[in-house]
Amino acid sequence: IRVDGRKHARIVADMPQPVHDEIVKYLSSDLLFYRADGPEGLIERQVKHWDPVVGWAADTLGARFIMVEGVVFAAQPDEAIAAASRAIPADAWRLGAAHSVMTLTGSALLALALANGAISQEDAWTAAHVDEDWQMEQWGRDTLAMQRREHGLAEMKPAATVLKHIR
């Protein structure tokens, strides 16, 4: 279901708790916590683009998350989730924008870093696509994937603008 910005803001304003709770849920299994065990080039990119955000969460929010290799679920410390949760915007416009960024990037931490001015929209988008970019470099570009990605970026830009300009 696609809703325009005004309708989305109204939904978030009327029911902010479920939106907040979904961001908290993402924090328990964030994209940035699941690291490749190889090849070395992919590992280096994840470190380059993801570690600054994880470091920001630890240093600024007091949220110390556990990084794991592979895709096997690892429970995150309740204290880390609670600390990061305090950075979730309360304002309906910012909450909705952060939620949009989260769903488009697959990362609540990227959304919170963007919402708190710790990362640019461009860096958040790049970080969200580290694995995909690596795969495309190895195997070639997928036209449909690139079209979906362009559409996602077009949706993310307005959300990033809200996060930047509404405080």
Give the model's pLDDT for residue 12: 85
Q: Which residue has the tokens 């979906």?
A: 148
List the structure tokens of 34: 């699941």
Residue 1 has pLDDT above 50, yes or no: no
pLDDT score for 6:
57
DSSP 8-state class, residue 58: I
pLDDT single digits (tens) 129-154:
999 999 999 999 989 999 999 999 99
Three-state secondary structure call for residue 36: coil
pLDDT tens, position by position, 84-122 = 999 999 999 999 999 999 999 999 999 999 999 999 999
